[in-house]
Structure 1
């Protein structure tokens, strides 16, 4: 649905590995370790991280480091980021795991991969 584009410093495999093994795990760690207990503060925390993710993606898209396909765009990324950060902090895996699996199928079907 989207692709990270290489540049002169790092090839495609390097870009994907950097995001997969460094950027995403580190941001998830920061997000979860600082997650507040108070409900309104949690909402602000989620909104902050959604804005960070969508902001970085928008800049990457504008600079040509991200390309979209199959109808995906920045609005879908915003929807996905909200969904992802809501599910990431969920404390009941009995509910969050099946919901995540259903979400995966939702995106795969909607964007023509299944």
Structure 2
């Protein structure tokens, strides 16, 4: 299902994304990928959620599909179809948050995603509520988005007590 989601997202991005101007969105597409890589790096020994692979051989390969296909394609779709007008913008955010929550709910109920260490679908929804505005902020003001992202990263690490161990090499002497 994870691989299928990647393919579906890629098809949707090909159909409805602004590929002619993809370079305009590239930095935010990579920002999204970087965020997922950072999660996997920081929580490698303390995953808050873990993907149960289906077509892919393991969790790491499944995460690679999300990092390099699903999330960049999502960013392209989200940004290239960003509307004008306050009400339309709110609906756009709700649509994307809803899509992400419904897909994750389905994956949770079918055993494709497993929550650990206090994480839940509710926390994912809260994360999505911050994630989509952060994508738009990164597109408009990337340095501010990176600064806020750093604060949010520290918040999530502290809230879920993610052990961020920095091994110190012993040196002979």
Same fold (TM > 0.5): yes
What range is the shorter-chain TM-score in?
over 0.9
Partner residue of 1:88? 135
In the alignment, the residues of structure 1 paired with residue 76 and residue 97 of structure 2 have an alpha-carbon distance, to the nearest angstrom, of 15
Whether 2:57 is the aligned partner of 1:11: answer: yes
Distance in 2 (alpha carbons) for counterparts of 1:94 and 1:31: 20
Q: Quick one: distance in 1 between partners of 2:61 and 2:162?
A: 25
CA distance in 2, matches of 1:20, 1:92: 22
Deviation at 1:43, TM superposition (A): 0.8
Deviation string, structure 1 residues 32-80 (Cα, Å, up to 9, x no partner): 1111121211110010000000100010010000001110000000000
CA RMSD across the alignment: 1.1
Normalization by structure 2: what TM-score? 0.62
1:1-114 residue pairs with structure 2 within 5 A?
1-7=48-54, 9-12=55-58, 13-90=60-137, 91-114=140-163
Q: 1:38, 1:72 → 2: CA distance?
A: 35
For structure 2, the residue ranges without an aligned partner over 5 or more in a row are 1-47, 164-173
Provide the secondary structure at the position in 2 that maps to 1:104: helix
Q: TM-score, normalised by structure 1?
A: 0.93
Deviations 1:77-98 (A, max 9, x none): 0000010001111122343221
Structure 1, unaligned runs of 5 or more: none
> Displaced runs of 4+ in structure 1, greater than 4 A?
none
Number of residue pairs aligned between Structure 1 and Structure 2:
113
